Amino acid sequence: MKQFFKLEENKTNVKTEVLAGITTFMTMAYILVVNPVILSSTGMDFGGIFTATALSSLIATFMMALYANYPFALAPGMG
């Protein structure tokens, strides 16, 4: 993991990266609830929207991590 993400080259360590990931998740977690609340007011299924939001966030974030090697978390948004 250290070699793949070039942690030493970027002057960081696993502990710092895990803490940053938890912090990023906590700041973006509201999207998992807000997005379905807004879209379900149009008659769409809340559970389906929640699942789609979570899966699209997961896939997009993993693509940024594994393909682009950037520490960006992505999620659907409104506005």
pLDDT (0 to 100) of residue 51: 97
Structure letter (DSSP) for residue 72: -
Within-domain flag for 3: no
Domains of the chain: total: 1
Residue 17: strand, helix, or coil: helix
Q: Is the residue at 54 inside a domain?
A: yes
| pTM (2 d.p.) | 0.78
Q: Which of 32, 24, 30, 31 is nearest to 64 (CA)?
A: 24
Pairwise pLDDT comparison (30 vs 4), residue with the higher score: 30
- Confidence (pLDDT) at 6: 73
The whole domain housing 61 covers: 14-68
Query: What does the pLDDT read at residue 16?
Result: 84
Cβ–Cβ < 8 Å for 27, 41: no
What count of other Cβ atoms lies within 10 Å of the Cβ of residue 10?
12
Mind listing the pLDDT tens digit for each residue in 9-62? 878 888 888 898 899 999 899 999 999 999 999 999 999 999 999 999 999 999
Q: Is residue 5 part of a domain?
A: no
Assigned domain for 79 exists: no
